[in-house]
Amino acid sequence: MVKIVSWNINSVRLRMPQIERFILQHAPDVLCLQEIKTLEEFFPHEAFEKLGYAHRAVHGQKGYHGVATVSRIPMQEYSRHDWQANGEARHVGIELLGPGQGTVVENVYVPAGGDVADREVNPKFGQKLDFLGRMTRWADTIERPTLIVGDFNIAPLECDVWNHKQLLKVVSHTPLEVETLARFQQAHGWVDLGREFIPAPERYFSWWSYRAKDWRANDRGRRLDHMWASPELAKQAKGHEVFEDTRDWVQCSDHVPLITEFDL
């Protein structure tokens, strides 16, 4: 079995203690991190080396964004796409070389899109839609078993947010974003592994705002993080869970890890 994890860590250097704690508890084979917020030269390579993650692909930038995939099993960097079309570090792809040889794991951090769901008054919203458009054109060309994971910054289903009606005009759950993400899904026939194992309308959130003093009591969550697989690869997924406990840890990320196990 190969255990793959996706986690928007919201600063890898600040939260290395939480990462170490999680690794010691769950021992993922492959860990995909988003929003690492650091250049590759300042990435905590030594800390991951000590934890047994000798294989790393880091696409970072100073202070913002950035993605990294670290692995205990052999892998190599496979791709870097600039779907933002402005040089931001929001994607890195790797190819597994050990168990699951030939499987591609794409790690992506989709732009949040600002506060107003109108590209005319909010260019960031337009950039998000265009990012997804470029991803969609790429997905239409995939010929290998692929897993795409990360912070998509969209909660697509009504049950993926704490209140569908209240959030219809809130960026991350607007109909236009949901439709745009659906086109990306259709381009490759992606299987949403989260909802395969936790079927709608069961509760499933991966993000809670820092503004909530008691996130568990309020539970105003959204499912912004995803793990989607090519149809054939999806058949090899044997289990999936959301590890909410990290949201209680000291200096935690506002996102929690997603864990999928594959029989590769």
Q: Domain residues of the chain, as ranges? A: 2-262
172 contacts: CB under 8 Å, gap ≥ 6: 112, 113, 153, 154, 155, 222, 224
Strands 104-109 and 91-96: antiparallel
Q: Please report the pLDDT score of residue 62 as a whole number.
A: 94
Q: Between vectors from CA 143 to CA 183 and to CA 79, what angle results, nearest 5°? A: 85
Q: How many CA atoms lie within 13 A of 90 on its CB side?
A: 21
Counting as low any pLDDT under 70, the low residues of the chain are none
Separation CA 83–CA 92 (nearest Å): 11
Separation CA 260–CA 111 (nearest Å): 24
- pLDDT tens digits, one per residue of 177-211: 999 999 999 999 999 999 999 999 999 999 999 99
The number of beta carbons lying within 10 Å of the beta carbon of residue 224 is 24
Q: Please report the pLDDT score of residue 159 as a whole number.
A: 98
Helix axes 123-139, 175-188, angle to 10 degrees: 20
Q: Are 138 and 106 in contact (CB under 8 A)?
A: no
Separation CA 137–CA 74 (nearest Å): 29
Give the burial class of 158: count Cβ atoms within 10 A of its Cβ; 0-12 exposed, 13-18 middle, 19 or more buried.
middle
Q: Please report the pLDDT score of residue 183 as a whole number.
A: 98
Q: Please report the pLDDT score of residue 241 as a whole number.
A: 97
Q: Please report the pLDDT score of residue 213 as a whole number.
A: 83
- In terms of CATH, what superfamily is 2-262? Endonuclease/exonuclease/phosphatase (3.60.10.10)
Q: Are 112 and 255 in contact (CB under 8 A)?
A: no
Name the nearest CA neighbour of 68 among 8, 4, 111: 8
Order of strands, edge to edge, in the sheet holding 67-71?
A: 55-59, 67-71, 30-34, 2-8, 258-262, 237-242
Q: Please report the pLDDT score of residue 212 as a whole number.
A: 84
